[in-house]
Amino acid sequence: MTATLIDGKAVAARLRAGLATRIAGLGWAPGLVVVRVGEDPASGVYVRNKDKAAREAGFASRTRHLPEATTEAELLAEIAALNADPAVDGILVQLPLPAHIRAEAAIEAVDPAKDVDGFHPVNAGRLASGLPGLVPCTPRGAMHLLAGAGATLRGARAIVIGRSQIVGRPMAQLLLGADCTVTIAHSRTADLPGECRRADIVVAAVGRPEMVRGDWIKPGAVVIDVGINRLESGKLVGDVAFTEALPHARAITPVPGGVGPMTIACLLENTLEAALARRGA
């Protein structure tokens, strides 16, 4: 067997085109503001890509770039102003923030109704309670890819490797909501290869290049590789040893071109949803 490639770039392009069509029919533009503080170099690229994708789909998108020396109080005041601005439907505070600002404080300052990252504890709590709310973009994108790959979720054994607030935990909640039997693995998990070998669905969100080896993949499993790791050579690789996994998996996402583009498309999907909900449309 050799795995089918799950083309996240193509699925994301279709999703964005669908959003563009819906926005063109609205007669008004949903507003997205990305707040960037300081000069984290990777953030520069991500923020530009988000802004470009948002504009192309017809959103009113702008980036608020604050200097590295911005205090936590100043950032919170900026977020409060965006919360109060009726033209703003979605607010994303780009992470990482400078070390002198507490990320939790910034996340909790965002109006949950405008929290298009889905990171606010109100939205995390809604997800964990099975209630509607804004869902984090990367896990949401991963669910779209699983659906597109025709993966059977009900009753399937799924493993999520990683338990971060932004990827692992919400991913596990979404899989649980889709009736998977979910294992959440992390750095203290005993026998990670053994846990992985039982799984019909593998979601790797660790941040360790090619940690998941080919012989950890159950024959016919569907593999979603969230990891984005830049090697010293400059090459981007995932958390899964891609070439090794190919003969075992039924379908697998590449890095790049897998989950990453879906994260941006789902940010736009969340922004449209937030806009429609806020405006009672």
Ligand X SMILES: NC(=O)C1=CN([C@@H]2O[C@H](COP(=O)(O)OP(=O)(O)OC[C@H]3O[C@@H](n4cnc5c(N)ncnc54)[C@H](OP(=O)(O)O)[C@@H]3O)[C@@H](O)[C@H]2O)C=CC1
Ligand Y SMILES: Nc1nc(=O)c2c([nH]1)NC[C@@H]1CN(c3ccc(C(=O)N[C@@H](CCC(=O)O)C(=O)O)cc3)C=[N+]21
Determine which residue in the list 90, 170, 227, 260 makes contact with ligand Y, applying CB under 6 A: 260
Beta bridge pairs of residue 251:
4, 222
Beta bridge pairs of residue 64:
35
State the Cα–Cα distance between residues 12 and 260, nearest whole angstrom.
9
Contacts of 180-187 with C-beta under 8 Å, sequence gap 24+, read 180/153, 180/154, 180/155, 180/156, 181/155, 181/156, 181/157, 182/158, 183/157, 183/158, 183/159, 184/159, 184/160, 185/159, 185/160, 185/161, 186/161, 186/162
Phi and psi at residue 202, to the nearest 5°? -120, 125
By the 8 A CB rule, do 138 and 166 touch?
yes
112 touches ligand Y by CB under 6 A: no
- 162-201 residues in contact with ligand X (CB under 6 A) are 162-164, 166-168, 185-189, 192
- 41-60 residues in contact with ligand Y (CB under 6 A) are 46, 49
Count the site residues for ligand X by CB under 6 A.
25
Q: How far is the CB of 23 from ligand X (least distance, A)?
A: 23
Q: How far is the CB of 166 from ligand Y (least distance, A)?
A: 7
192 or 264: CB nearest ligand Y: 264
Q: Has 51 been annotated as catalytic?
A: no
Q: What is the largest CA-CA distance in the chain?
A: 56
Q: How far is the CB of 171 from ligand X (least distance, A)?
A: 9
- Does 150 belong to an annotated binding site? no
260 touches ligand X by CB under 6 A: yes
- 194-233 residues in contact with ligand X (CB under 6 A) are 205-208, 226-229
Phi and psi at residue 252, to the nearest 5°? -150, 145
By the 8 A CB rule, do 205 and 168 touch?
yes
| 8-state DSSP, 216 | G
58 or 90: CB nearest ligand Y: 90
Q: How far is the CB of 264 from ligand X (least distance, A)?
A: 8
Catalytic residue among 7, 89, 117, 200: 117
Q: Has 50 been annotated as catalytic?
A: yes
Q: Has 94 been annotated as catalytic?
A: yes
- Does 228 belong to an annotated binding site? yes
Measured from the Cβ of residue 171, the count of other Cβ atoms closer than 10 Å reads 28
5 touches ligand Y by CB under 6 A: no
Tell me which residue has tokens 């659906």. 147
Q: By beta-carbon distance, which residue lies closest to ligand Y? A: 260
Q: Which residues are annotated as a binding site?
A: 162-164, 228
Annotated binding site for NADP(+): 162-164, 228
- Footprint of ligand X (CB under 6 A): 138, 161-164, 166-168, 185-189, 192, 205-208, 226-229, 259-260, 263
User: Which residues make up the interface to ligand Y (CB under 6 A)?
Assistant: 46, 49, 92-95, 117, 137, 228, 236, 255-257, 260-261, 263-264
Catalytic residues: 50, 94, 117
